[in-house]
Structure 1
């Protein structure tokens, strides 16, 4: 038999918690000494181990007590708990996606406002079914595969991170330079290089994506990051200038 302080020392469970378990009828001591000290035997220690194990599975204390009964329906209870845990995981994934989206939006925009935050959260929790339905309406099977390669504001892969960085640099340059300036054109050049590397032979897909990108409603339906209209216009100008310069030079990539 162990007194409560010895049980606490062996299990790492505080004396206060053990007393609380007794208070709510979850775990009673075997007996008490003449001095009023709680005593716990082997059976009580086994029950305590069960309680700790069930807590690690995510069961709440009020759900644990009936589980300690040997006649309890373990199969149904575990099925229910698994569904609960999976639902919580989905919630956490949505939270992670929203946080990544906000971090990357900050990289692009330099600051955040309430309107943008709401858009990012909506984008992160947007139903995949609706996005997929819209995609199937306007894209071919080949295009649908290419969409999976697009950079995503809610991901941390190197491909997405470089596009996010380039957009952030471009947004910052926009404050001090015009679309045809050398610093802006260097960023556009890298963007064109990346597009050529990743979508070579699929120029029509890129043109379609750019047309969608310039439409705020279609961009939202497709789940694209909400770039400001004036920023999109600036990028469009910069691309037009870049293409015109390279065509005049006879750039073989054009």
Structure 2
């Protein structure tokens, strides 16, 4: 027989947890000493290992108690249900991860937490994925939809997306300057280079994309990250200056 302290030493489970398991009749000790101290045998130790394993799989203590006490329980069904639960939780965590990355990238662009933009993002990601895809199908042909997948993603940490985030953040820092300022034109030049690197010399696609980007309503339907009109207007005027010098 092992004392409660010896069980704790072997398993790392606290005395308080073992006492609680006893109180809820999940793991009742094999006996007690004359002084009232709990004692555990090999059977109880094995059951404790089963409890910890099932906890690791995400089952609640109530479910574990039912599973271990019901010898006729359908384990296949129980495990399948738990698998579906874990998959759904994994999907939720993946969405939360993307949103957190998007918010961090938003801070990089804005230099601070913009609560109004956070609210916009919440509404944006509450939108239906199917609805966004349907709108893309409506607006772009198959060849153009391939190019859409190459757009920077605010919820990603890939090098291309991060560079776009940094460039946009840098551009916003110069809104008080003239669009012809060297600092502004240097940023626009890199944006131009990245656009050509990504999409090639595809003016039809780029113009269609820009028309969507400039419309808050269309941008929302596409699932684009919200950008202030002031920034879009500044970018457009700076881009036009850059292009005029290329001719």
What TM-score do the two structures reach when normalised by structure 2? 0.96
| Secondary structure, aligned partner of 1:192 | helix
Provide the residue aligned with 2:161 in structure 1. 160
- Distance in 2, matches of 1:34 and 1:138, equals 80
Aligned to 1:135: 136
CA distance in 2 between partners of 1:121 and 1:193 (Å): 32
- Helix, strand or coil for the counterpart of 2:73? coil
Q: Could you tell me whether the CA contact under 8 Å between 1:94 and 1:124 is conserved in 2?
A: no
Question: How far off is 1:64 after superposition?
Answer: 0.4
Alpha-carbon shift at residue 125 of structure 1 (Å): 4.2
Residue of structure 2 equivalent to 1:65: 65
RMSD: 1.1
Shift of 1:9: 0.5
Are 1:94 and 1:125, in contact at CA under 8 Å, matched by a contact in 2?
no
SS of 2:39's partner is strand
Deviations 1:205-245 (A, max 9, x none): 11111111111100110011111011111001001111112
Runs of at least 5 residues in structure 2 that lack an aligned partner in the other structure: none
Distance 2:141 2:100 in 1: 32
Give, in angstroms, the shift of residue 121 of structure 1: 2.4
Give the length in aligned residue pairs: 246
Q: Summarize the alignment of residues 11-90 of structure 1 with structure 2, pairs less than 5 Å apart.
A: 11-68=11-68, 69-90=70-91
| Runs of 5+ unmatched residues, structure 1 | 248-254
SS in 1 for 2:174: helix
Q: Which residue does 1:91 correspond to in 2?
A: 92
Structure 1 SS opposite 2:173:
helix
Identify which range, 201-210 or 138-147, moves more after superposition. 201-210
Please report the TM-score for the alignment, with normalisation by the length of structure 1. Answer: 0.94
Q: Distance in 1 between matches of 2:73 and 2:135?
A: 48
For the residues of structure 1 that align with 2:199 and 2:17, how far apart are their CA atoms?
Answer: 60
List structure 1 segments (4+ residues) > 6 angstroms apart after TM superposition: none
Shift of 1:113: 2.6
